[in-house]
Structure 1
Amino acid sequence: MTHARLYKDWHSIPPSARGCAAALGNFDGVHLGHAHLIRSVHAARPDLPRAVVTFEPHPRELFRPQDPPFRLTLSEERLAALEALGVEHVFEIPFDRAFSNLSAEQFVQDVLHDALGLLHVGCGPDFAFGHRRGGDINFLAERTQALDIGLTQVPALADAGGPFSSTRIRRLLQDGYPERAAEELGRPWFIRGEVQHGDKRGRLLGFPTANIALGRHLEPARGVYAVTIRLPGGHTRMGVANVGRRPTIDDGQESRLEVHLFDFEGDLYGQQLSVALHRLLRPEMRFASLDELKAQIALDALQARQLLAPAP
């Protein structure tokens, strides 16, 4: 597989990374529509290295910090997904106040042409850039032609429900359909994070859990999921997970991801896990007692094992 190189300082791009054909966008989720864009740009100039120009954080995080977390993929996850598509160079531009004040002209001239040395770019029809989103596809076409940069305008990939989009995938996850989100992503959606110390209540119930903060990830529908967990080193385990605030215990804490790994013993504190959500088994609910909760978790675990078991 191609190894993608990540560049976070657009002012100091090495000569070896110049002269690429780059897809432009935020690429949150790196879904099938994004894959279509990247492949279309590569098809237009297969002689050039594949690249992506993206931004971190997402502009919405800068301009609307009061909004709930919404990200499908964070920087490291996005890089891995782009690498799987054969991208060789990822120009991840820090999106801060100074950068947001660059005009559309400066973005094309100073960033795409002068700093990155791109020979070809591609984007969807709705790509907007520059201060107050002052640049659109028509402006980009005019300026890239003047700078002798090739341009591929890529129509959005769509199905019967409309164009594939990060917004549509977020809605599917918030409505409790991770399996449908996976179809549009081309892979299961997962939350990656560090295992933190909890109150050890799961252990007392007979189902020890690894606790992971949702952080900047989107919060999917609250409830219990059948999941697979990728451990450090690449091994994968099946399991069951709860997303929510634990109404039976009602500890007042923010929503979190609590994962029980099947047939696993070991200390995971401080380690990074990737938890893929496959199916929502039931919504979050309150139980009259811890004994009722324990009995339900046992049923949830059995259902998750059956759902995740390999086909004979």
Structure 2
Amino acid sequence: MGASAGTLVLAGTPIGEVMDAPPRLAAELEAADVVAAEDTRRLRRLTQALGVQTRGRVVSYFEGNESARTPELVEALEGGARVLLVTDAGMPSVSDPGYRLVAAAVEKDIKVTAVPGPSAVLTALALSGLPVDRFCFEGFLPRKAGERIGRLREVADERRTLVYFEAPHRLDDTLTAMAEVFGGERRAAVCRELTKTYEEVKRGGLGELAAWAAEGVRGEITVVVAGAPETGPAELDADELVRRVRVREEAGERRKEAIAAVAADAGLPKREVFDAVVAAKNAAKAVTKNAAKDGPRR
């Protein structure tokens, strides 16, 4: 792309308190040739709160029109425009519109830069009281119960701290599913209304938090969950090895690969895990056989 190409600017916006807006945001809002906003009404409220005016063209850019709007914005960038992308709260592309536009701009060799700003992910991590040296962001879980359980099983043995976004009306079901898959004692923190007037951080075991959420929770939610404990060979009994293999199988892995992965994670020979799985299978068969032999009692 030639020197006449424009610049795509990804700008972080406040996740609650307007005073958290980065100083550069006001300058970029005034200087942009095009401002692409997830919600133009929220953008209007933001500019009023910051005391600035957008001189460029304002267009909507949200999940429903992201695919159709991206080529138009790329064309503006190719023509030399400075395009500012903002979402309702936080950084664009992080569970918000933006990825498609960034990818399209990169493909055209158009400059992409950012105005760093507030992030619910990092704010929740910092407040959670859980390890933050290694973490992974999982976004929103699927709405359907079966898919939600399947997604959680995929990371049941993940040792890094996990971060999720969730809608308040689904928080109860999500925490209950997490307690089922990760264990009710796994530590977690529910961060609600971060930086807003009614900010709240509720910490505890997943079972405890699920019971708390059953009463109903309002506001924007970020959930931080501790990673799986780093357990050594002596701490894993046969039942736990079998459980880990089953979780991986239910997530779609073949038994051979699941056994190899569990053995590697636990620092054990594959044969030891294999024997535990076979023993559990034989025990289940014996229980079924005895039940059939005894027949119904009168």
Tell whether the structures are fold-level matches, with TM greater than 0.5.
no
**Largest Rg, 1 or 2:** 2
By percentage of residues, which structure has more strand? 1
User: TM-score, normalised on structure 1?
Assistant: 0.30
User: TM-score, normalised on structure 2?
Assistant: 0.31
By percentage of residues, which structure has more helix? 2
